[in-house]
Structure 1
Amino acid sequence: MKIKLTIIALTILSFSMVKAQQIHVKKAFAAAANQTNLLIKNVDSARKVKPSLVSPRTVENGQFKMVASKDWTSGFFPAELWYFYQYTKDKKWLDLAKKYTEDIKKEQFNKGTHDLGFMVYCPFGNGYRLTGDPAYKAVIIQAAKSLSTRFNARASVIKSWDHNGDKWKYPVIIDNMMNLELLFEATKLTGDSSFYKIAVTHANTTLKNHFRPDFSSYHVIDYDTLTGKVLQKVTAQGYANESAWARGQAWALYGYTMCYRETKNNAYLTQADGVAAFILNNKITPADGIPYWDYNDPEIPDVSRDASAAAITASALYDLAKYSNNGRKYKAAADKILYSLSTKYRSKPGDNYGFILEHSTGHRPAKSEIDVPINYADYYYLEALLRSKK
């Protein structure tokens, strides 16, 4: 009898813990909307002073920081507004999303960056999905054409960075996986398979060269464009070359989940499952599921967390749960992360100039954006909220 009562008690406790981690999406969106209303006011005030800066990026050393449309993070703010419109169907958010999305439009012709997926596809892709506006479709297609110019057939990858030529010859970063969705979409919109082929080739080459046996990822792989061989493997934004930079693992998880969704190639699903296992089984991650900025920093626990990596991971896990045999486990993990972000990492009302989340880490080795709110954390947090409903 005592054994039965103990089992019942444990079952009730387990159930109550699961229930406690179920995020109240309506309340979370309402709180996020209130913050974003304040953010919009601060954006408009800042733009009166410097019109060339169009999007809010972060708050650093108490200073509200805006960026020009050419910054890799410029598209996240207008893309967030599209998510508010998707959730509320309120014309207010539609008008705001349209207004700030226009500020990024010229970047469709930018051939000097690999980040056109972030910059263009996040706002224009969501805008087209929600409105069917043919003008948005045209921007997406042109951006895909611009991104395609950065593909090198010999190395079989899209070049990431043009800077620091003294450090590397043809650098490709794990973040670049995120920009492939733009190419997949362009093939759907045009019927031109060249975009799709570039995306798949890049994903295959990255799968081959970017990962260690435990499915953790390097940040940067440098290629020789004459031979296609790997010149060096480094982790520029992590603790050390052989360390696992938290946001890099999140990009990898999201990127290969998206590639499986778009291609149904089981190699990508296997890779996504492997990366998920590395993230979720890592003993260094705190109980709340929000990782330290790098899994191998010897100063843990006295280092910054990365809420942005957690938000990206949660969003990816909700997506991966639809395809993997581990779906129930992934959804539970995403629920836990989302609950933690919503209860422990959300800005207090009126704080942080209107950013939704705090405690993200941008580039710790460069002493840049450490323990701050940042726009891509907010974007993927909202996306995770939306995906949690499905």
Structure 2
Amino acid sequence: MHRTILFIACLGLLLPVAPANAQKNQQLQPKPALLHLIDGNLRQAVNQYKVLMGRVPADRLPKTYYANADKLETSDAGWWTSGFYPGTLFYLYEFSEDTTLLHEAQRRLSLLEKEQYDKGTHDLGFMMYCSFGNALRLIGKKLLPQSAAPYDSILLTSARSLSTRFHPIVGCIKSWDSKPWHYPVIIDNMMNLELLFWATHITGDSSFYKIAVAHANTTMRNHYRPDYSSFHVVDYDSVTGAIIAQKTAQGYSDSSAWARGQSWGLYGYTMVYRNTHDPKYLQQAQHIAHFILTNPALPADKIPVWDYNAPAYPPLRDASAAAVMASALIELSHYVPSEEGRGYLEVAEKIIVNLSDNTYKPVVGSNGGFILRHSVGHFPAHSEVDVPLTYADYYFVEAMLRYRELGKDHK
């Protein structure tokens, strides 16, 4: 009986674009003018990524682009953003059915395949589910070139590797192995839980589910302040599970609300609700949304500054935080009463419209082939500041595809 309940709870896992139907708000309808804008954006994105394809070395994956030096920065497959480029290609193939994108995505999966065994990172959800998860959803259990393993097998091995980083006394998946941290857990890690929910759905093994839920519960208890803003990092004592410190690495200060971190939490708890149907996670997502959307530092165009508590200068916006937020709000809008859902959807619509402006979306052929500009990676480290980022592109495309699904019957 328990396995049956888990199976039903996880039915939406292979549908990251179209949210699960549980408690779905059927009254939400897309705006025709915005659908027209989105279709134009996606056609341009297809062309942009063909530009990017031509710049990326065969054995590397893109990270960002520096326009002043016309320099593309890349990574190997072990970097945490490695799955976003092939993931975006799969999303754009889903829209366009352009096999050029499909073949490029599959080639890049070949680079990522070995990461299924990487037990030294908490980011296997980003790396593997955003890439292989979309591959499996769109084209099934096909084999990689010169590979003996189908996509679902690679994902399952990835979930097992991720599970090794869970500590039952702490109740969380460890983020970093570096000093001076003891057992650090970052809010970003909420996003990697989707891989574990998927693994339970596929195998019926509830151990993955239990790890994901334990992590979500511990994070809810220790990462969030009374106003539902989130710390970036909580450092634990691995012997007792006690909190050693609540700090930041990428935000303005330990007590501030780093913008992308707030978006990670919003998206993460919305996703956990989809996979558990437990109302406490829906309530958590609603509380986080309220903190963000009523924050006096949120600009009128809804494109966040890089940290909600940062000084006004430099006035850096973070398109990646906006894109993650828009995608999350579209899904969250399905799970709440119609008036509240419409409010969330209107914010997502405003974000999509404003990211479609030439301030953030460059003309085809520029910006190194990236879709969006003006994101902030790690401001305190002076790294990837006011540049395009692969994950900004990924969640912007995902948000637009989710919006196109509004009003459609997925039963």
State which of 126, 133, 136 in structure 1 corresponds to 2:151.
Answer: 136
Q: Is the 8 A contact 1:23 1:335 kept in 2?
A: no
Which residue in 2 is equivalent to 1:334?
A: 348
Q: What SS does the corresponding residue of 2:54 show, helix, strand or coil?
A: helix
Q: Is the 8 A contact 1:22 1:335 kept in 2?
A: no
Give the TM-score taking structure 2 as reference length.
0.86
Kindly provide the CA deviation profile for residues 107-159 of structure 1, in whole angstroms up to 9, marking residues without a partner as x: 00000000000011100001111112160000110000000000000001000
Q: Is the 8 A contact 2:234 2:243 kept in 1?
A: yes
Residue type of the partner of 1:79?
Answer: G
Q: What SS does the corresponding residue of 1:42 show, helix, strand or coil?
A: coil
1:87 Cα deviation from its structure 2 partner: 1.1
For 1:68-87, what aligned pairs fall within 5 Å after superposition? 68-87=76-95
Which residue in 1 is equivalent to 2:8?
A: none
Q: What SS does the corresponding residue of 2:303 show, helix, strand or coil?
A: coil
2:246 corresponds to 1:257: no
Q: Is the 8 A contact 2:35 2:404 kept in 1?
A: no
- RMSD, matched Cα: 1.4
State which of 306, 319, 324 in structure 2 corresponds to 1:312.
Answer: 324
Residue type of the partner of 1:302?
Answer: P
Q: Separation in 1 of the partners of 2:201 and 2:104?
A: 27
Which residue in 2 is equivalent to 1:94?
A: 102
Percent identity of the aligned residues?
53
Which residue in 2 is equivalent to 1:374?
A: 389
Q: Separation in 2 of the partners of 1:19 and 1:34?
A: 23
Q: Is the 8 A contact 1:238 1:244 kept in 2?
A: yes
Kindly provide the CA deviation profile for residues 148-197 of structure 1, in whole angstroms up to 9, marking residues without a partner as x: 0000000010000111x22x200000000000000000011111110000
1:356 Cα deviation from its structure 2 partner: 0.6
Which residue in 1 is equivalent to 2:234?
A: 221
1:86 Cα deviation from its structure 2 partner: 1.1
For 1:266-345, what aligned pairs fall within 5 Å after superposition? 266-298=279-311, 300=312, 302-325=314-337, 326-343=340-357, 344-345=359-360
Q: What SS does the corresponding residue of 1:242 show, helix, strand or coil?
A: coil
Q: Separation in 2 of the partners of 1:247 and 1:349?
A: 26
* Residues 1:193 and 1:336: Cα distance change in structure 2 (over 3 Å): same
Q: Separation in 1 of the partners of 2:76 and 2:115?
A: 10
Kindly provide the CA deviation profile for residues 212-255 of structure 1, in whole angstroms up to 9, marking residues without a partner as x: 11111000000111111111000111000000000000000000
1:22 Cα deviation from its structure 2 partner: 6.3
For 1:1-390, what aligned pairs fall within 5 Å after superposition? 24-43=37-56, 46-47=57-58, 51=59, 54-60=60-66, 62=69, 63-133=71-141, 135-163=150-178, 165-166=179-180, 168-298=181-311, 300=312, 302-325=314-337, 326-343=340-357, 344-390=359-405
Residue type of the partner of 1:159?
Answer: K
Q: What SS does the corresponding residue of 2:380 show, helix, strand or coil?
A: helix
- Moved >4 Å (runs of 4+): 18-23
* Residues 1:21 and 1:29: Cα distance change in structure 2 (over 3 Å): closer
1:208 Cα deviation from its structure 2 partner: 0.3
Deviates most, 283-292 or 371-380: 283-292
1:301 Cα deviation from its structure 2 partner: 5.2
1:381 Cα deviation from its structure 2 partner: 0.5
1:258 Cα deviation from its structure 2 partner: 0.2
Q: Which has the higher helix share?
A: 1
Q: Is the 8 A contact 1:315 1:383 kept in 2?
A: yes
Q: Is the 8 A contact 2:43 2:96 kept in 1?
A: no
Kindly provide the CA deviation profile for residues 308-357 of structure 1, in whole angstroms up to 9, marking residues without a partner as x: 00000000001111102221111110000011011131122211210110
1:21 Cα deviation from its structure 2 partner: 6.2
* Residues 1:85 and 1:22: Cα distance change in structure 2 (over 3 Å): closer
Q: Is the 8 A contact 2:326 2:352 kept in 1?
A: yes
Q: What SS does the corresponding residue of 1:331 show, helix, strand or coil?
A: helix
Q: Separation in 2 of the partners of 1:41 and 1:91?
A: 15
Q: Separation in 2 of the partners of 1:271 and 1:79?
A: 28
Which residues of structure 1 form unaligned runs of 5+?
Answer: 1-17
Q: Separation in 2 of the partners of 1:330 and 1:291?
A: 15
Q: What SS does the corresponding residue of 1:329 show, helix, strand or coil?
A: helix
* Residues 1:82 and 1:19: Cα distance change in structure 2 (over 3 Å): closer
1:20 Cα deviation from its structure 2 partner: 7.0
Q: What SS does the corresponding residue of 1:222 show, helix, strand or coil?
A: strand
Q: Separation in 2 of the partners of 1:301 and 1:294?
A: 11
Give the TM-score taking structure 1 as reference length.
0.91
Residue type of the partner of 2:91?
Answer: Y
Residue type of the partner of 1:359?
Answer: H
Q: Is the 8 A contact 1:23 1:338 kept in 2?
A: no
Q: Is the 8 A contact 2:52 2:369 kept in 1?
A: yes
Q: Separation in 2 of the partners of 1:148 and 1:292?
A: 34
1:101 Cα deviation from its structure 2 partner: 1.6
1:19 Cα deviation from its structure 2 partner: 7.8
Which residues of structure 2 form unaligned runs of 5+?
Answer: 1-30, 143-149, 406-411
Q: Separation in 2 of the partners of 1:355 and 1:24?
A: 18
Q: Is the 8 A contact 1:70 1:107 kept in 2?
A: yes
